Amino acid sequence: MLFKSLVHPKKDLTTVREDVTLEQALEILENSGYRCVPILDETGQIFRGNIYKMHIYRHKSRGGDMNLPVTYLLKNATKFVTLDSAFFNIFFSIKDLPYIAVLDEQNFFYGILTHSSLLTMLSQSWNINIGSYVLTVISPDERGDLLEMSKIITKYTAIASCITLDVEDKGLVHRTLFTLPAGVTPGKLEKIISNLERKSFKVSEIEDLQA
């Protein structure tokens, strides 16, 4: 489920109505400084798509009619998520977009989610402000690996956060990032690494967050 705090609400956004012309839309984009803004219906509730500055300029440079409605160059009409969308779907939906439109429970336009908001959320999940080290641990993709790694680490310290980034096709391995809390000494760190590698878990990278 998407946290509303990550979304830029409609009231704070620059949008255009579907009945404005390309010329009017270009003026709005120029004044706002944005390269892309949402297009809404005349009620301001229904998301129609996005309009990009570059598409208007391309149209204009080719002698296109600037009095056409903005919907003539409408893009991304089906690119949106809802407030109850799973994060998995959100990450894949936003991948090639500057932002993605967010609809509320009634499918009305609620706001937008930007790449920077997602990156902020990820940085918070790493707990980099209160952590000491981040260990990248490679495991052989066997059942119980995460439990076993966690048991080894929690013999010496708590775990501030844990993120599994990927599954590699060739070796069928998992890469898991463990953030250790503040106060973990270099000596304790060495014991954690030694015990992990004794159990065939490879610590491929160690990042000192306080360095």
Domain CATH for 98: 3.10.580.10
Q: How many domains is the chain partitioned into structurally? A: 2
Per-residue confidence (pLDDT) for residue 86, from 0 to 100:
81
Model-level pTM? 0.71
Domain that includes residue 190, residue range: 126-208
Last residue of a domain, one of 82, 102, 118: 118
Per-residue confidence (pLDDT) for residue 173, from 0 to 100:
76
pLDDT tens, residue by residue, 116-153 = 888 777 766 666 667 899 999 999 878 899 999 999 99
Dist. CA 112–CA 55, nearest whole Å: 21
The answer on 53 and 107 residing in a single domain is: yes
The answer on 194 and 157 residing in a single domain is: yes
Per-residue confidence (pLDDT) for residue 4, from 0 to 100:
80
Residue 164 has pLDDT above 80, yes or no: yes
Among residues 70, 82, 96, 91, which one has the least CA distance to residue 7? Answer: 82
Last residue of a domain, one of 101, 118, 135: 118
Per-residue confidence (pLDDT) for residue 57, from 0 to 100:
97
The answer on 145 and 103 residing in a single domain is: no
What is the rounded average pLDDT of the residues 96-100? 90
What is the rounded average pLDDT of the residues 89-107? 89
Last residue of a domain, one of 63, 84, 118: 118
The answer on 80 and 9 residing in a single domain is: yes
**For the chain, percent helix, then strand, then coil, each to nearest 5?**
35, 30, 35
